[in-house]
Structure 1
Amino acid sequence: MGIPLHSKVRRMVRSTINLLLVKFSKKDINLQKISTDNIHRILIIRINYRIGNIIFLTPLINAITQKIPHAKIDILIGAKFIAPILQPMNNVNIVYDVPRKLLKNPFQLISKVKEINSNNYDLVISPIRSSGSANISTMLIKARYKLGFYSENIWSAANVVVPYPKKIRHEALKPLALLQAFEDDNKCFSNELDINLSEDEKLKGNKSLDELFNKNNIIRNNSTVIGIFRDARHEKKIKNEWWKLFIEHILIQDPSIIIIDILAPNDSEIIHQKSLSVSFQNLRDLGCFMSSLNFFICADTGPMHLASASGVPVIALFNATSADIYGPLGTYDRDINILGLSILEVVEQTFLNIKDINYQQ
């Protein structure tokens, strides 16, 4: 399935508005360095409704926490259900959400802007170059510094800019280039996704896994536990028939492996009789559970990035997008381009990756 028509229309509208703004608006470009001493309240704007795109903020959030440890960080995102992932992170204060229906109600939108502006931000960051909603929000939010990328053909409301990092391919790592705007920017920052799970949260995940085993009368012993997630958007989705055969061949090669099928919220279909199944409404709780697994296998989808950010080694199956741009970033994460491969070939590469990860850990 390709991109829906309404998504294509939205892209065309955004592109047209951007061209008009670039043509008719004048913007003074400020290349000054920002002193961190006077930065105490920060707002990061990423009005997006996808899990993965919001988790892509975590390298930037963690870098800012390291760079400006005294600052409180608020975040403005799209979907409320994603907020629990970010809320407990170090230095994160408030996670605001902008439901799609809010964009259609100007009075409620004005009220939300007033609420956010009451925080008196020192710095607003728009980490995505071409986001029209983020640029408009940056324009509406009051702050001394408004930081973003400069690109000749892209309109921005930022008053402090850094050049867009064309040589950085991965979407989660591009925002780190914004750290160039600060004085003394020679610190090294992590290139991994990380939602800062606490030790208590990891213990909570282990407890949830033990409860699942007890419920199904399973004794783990030293078995390898692999979580899978079968859902994905549009052309990235892999058919259930493929997953059923994939699980079958994994278990043929190693019957001791325990497969846990992590179900999407609206999915109740069990595709293999030897796999367990579990579902979580709260995404942070899902991340806690993922941290207790040995491996996680899925297509290019939001839970892939959540798993990586939770510390479980991920083996990502790519069939429509580029792993260089959207792949998992953990030290022990791996990706497989499954286009043109048989299921047996994917299984073979999966076991080779498992062996390699076990060797390196």
Structure 2
Amino acid sequence: MLLVGPLISELERLYPGAEVDIVAAGPAAHAVFSTYPTVRRIVSFHQRIVHHLPMTVAQLFGIRRTVYDVAIDAGGGSQSGRLLLAFVKARYKIGTTDHASEEALRPLHLAQRPVHLLRHAYAGDASGPWPVMDIRLTDDERRKGRDLLAKILGDTGVSSDTLTLAIFANATGRKCYAETWWAQFIQELTDHHSNVRIVEVVAAHAVSQLNSKHATFYSRDLRKMAAVISAADVFLSADCGVMHLAAASGTRTLGLFSVTDQRKYAPYGASNAAIDNREGDPGVAARIVSAHLSGLFQSLSEERH
């Protein structure tokens, strides 16, 4: 859902006053778009649709009763997205095709693809910079995130000599690194930067994957998680949903890529970076991250003075 944020921002830019309905799988869209005034309604299909068929059918026909001006398949051309686009009533429908000539013109990153589709269909001049991915935390949410992170770390104040690194050590399948990998990585990293303070963002299973050696934060509330991450100086994880959440929170985000295509899934935003970790060597990864942190130390020191 986070990767759809730039499309919503582009709709706001091209069609001021537009009202947007979002159809999603699972409840996350409610948290992601709760502060988007453009979003009128969110229809969330249960992630186990076969066990909730009556509810799903009711939701589908509720969507069908509305006649939209524009319907957009923002899911990159998945089968379910194409079926839903065919099912809804709309004056204009925008979706992905399999034509090789069109594929060559599309941007690679999945956050830019639906924006490209909209711009391609727009009648006027749609040129401009790519919209950012932003969960749109409120000032109050950010303040509470800063206060909570300070409490977790036992802060007495901001220091120009330290940098707070939030690490989310979980991911799915082969993207997930072992606890021993992270231990070697952190040892190498802190050998280079002894003044890095690490806080582990614990996954939904509520078990530390860094051997409980660092300050920890746990919450199943996506906006609260984003607020705490936004208070850190930098965030690091493998390619996963929380990596995109960090990027959407506005904090500097580094993503470790060993399986998936970083051209499509890199943490979105100019200040963020994807790290090629196909070798899987924790020492090599630590040295690359260390180089990023060295630049951050310099810029943060200038900001804090």
Task: Report if TM-score (shorter chain) is over 0.5.
Answer: yes
Cα deviation 1:49-69 (Å, max 9, x = unaligned):
xxxxx2111111111111112
Residue 76, structure 1, aligned to residue 15, structure 2:
no
The answer (yes or no) to whether the contact 1:332–1:357 under 8 Å persists in 2 is no
Task: Give the 3 Å change call, closer, same or farther, for CA 129–322 of structure 1 in structure 2.
Answer: closer
Deviation at 1:339, TM superposition (A): 2.6
Query: Take 1:221 and 1:106, find their aligned partners in 2: how far apart are those partners?
Result: 52
State which drifts further: 144-153 or 332-341: 144-153
Cα deviation 1:302-351 (Å, max 9, x = unaligned):
11111011111111111112211211121111222123263232222112
Structure 1: any 5+ residue segments left out of the alignment? 1-53, 154-161
The within-5 A match list for 1:303-318 is 303-318=242-257
- Count of residue pairs the alignment pairs up: 297
State which drifts further: 264-273 or 343-352: 264-273
TM-score by length of 2: 0.88
Q: Specify the code of the residue in structure 2 equivalent to 1:233.
A: T
Query: Take 1:266 and 1:309, find their aligned partners in 2: how far apart are those partners?
Result: 23
Deviation at 1:260, TM superposition (A): 0.5
Query: Take 2:280 and 2:58, find their aligned partners in 1: how far apart are those partners?
Result: 53
Aligned to 1:187: 127
Matched residue SS, 2:95: strand
Residue identity over aligned pairs, in percent, reads: 22
Aligned to 1:327: 266
Q: Specify the code of the residue in structure 2 equivalent to 1:94.
A: R
Aligned to 1:114: 61
Query: Take 1:339 and 1:84, find their aligned partners in 2: how far apart are those partners?
Result: 33
Query: Take 1:103 and 1:257, find their aligned partners in 2: how far apart are those partners?
Result: 47
TM-score by length of 1: 0.75
Residue 87, structure 1, aligned to residue 26, structure 2:
no
Query: Take 1:147 and 1:273, find their aligned partners in 2: how far apart are those partners?
Result: 48
Query: Take 1:75 and 1:185, find their aligned partners in 2: how far apart are those partners?
Result: 25
The within-5 A match list for 1:1-361 is 54-103=1-50, 105-152=52-99, 163-164=102-103, 166-178=105-117, 179-213=119-153, 217-219=154-156, 221-222=158-159, 223-269=162-208, 271-272=210-211, 274-340=213-279, 342-358=281-297
The answer (yes or no) to whether the contact 2:149–2:228 under 8 Å persists in 1 is yes
Matched residue SS, 1:100: coil
Structure 2: any 5+ residue segments left out of the alignment? 301-305
Deviation at 1:360, TM superposition (A): 6.2
Q: Specify the code of the residue in structure 1 equivalent to 2:268.
A: L
Query: Take 2:238 and 2:163, find their aligned partners in 1: how far apart are those partners?
Result: 20
Who wins on radius of gyration, i.e. which is larger?
A: 1
Query: Take 2:246 and 2:32, find their aligned partners in 1: how far apart are those partners?
Result: 12
Query: Take 2:135 and 2:163, find their aligned partners in 1: how far apart are those partners?
Result: 24
Q: Specify the code of the residue in structure 2 equivalent to 1:343.
A: P
